[in-house]
Amino acid sequence: MNDREIQAIIDRVMREVTLGSFDPSTVSRSEVLAIVDDFGGKIEHDKPDCLVVQYTGPVRLIERFLAEMSAFPVREIVRSGPCVLKVK
């Protein structure tokens, strides 16, 4: 990589959003909340029939978050895909 290519990587902010839906009757709520808390995620919806968690972060951390959450039976996972903003 040349200096220009390296600078192009440095001069940006990239994030992705993921949402996961779970049936609270089939997961350990406290374990799910512990993982969400560890990653700095949020509980977006918390009802007796549906628990929705949200995490926003770099793609590599989204992958780690999803790997942790895969221990639970997931109803649905959605991802925004990377969003990039060039900064100067």
Q: By residue range, what is the domain housing residue 75?
A: 14-83
Within a domain: 4: no
Which CATH number do you get for residue 46? Answer: 3.30.70.1150
Distance set, CA 47 to CA 1, 15, 25, 26, 67 (Å): 50, 28, 11, 13, 24
| 2 domain residue, yes or no | no
Question: How many structural domains comprise the chain?
Answer: 1
Given this model, what pLDDT does residue 28 score? Answer: 86
Of the two residues 57 and 2, the one the predictor is more confident about is 57
Q: Do residues 15 and 83 touch, judged by C-beta distance below 8 A? A: yes
**Any domain includes 88:** no
Digit-coded pLDDT (tens) for 11-69: 888 899 999 999 988 888 889 999 999 999 999 999 999 999 999 999 889 999 999 99
Give CA 45 to chain center in angstroms: 15
Confidence bin at 3 (pLDDT 50/70/90): low
pLDDT at 27: 86
pLDDT (0 to 100) of residue 84: 87
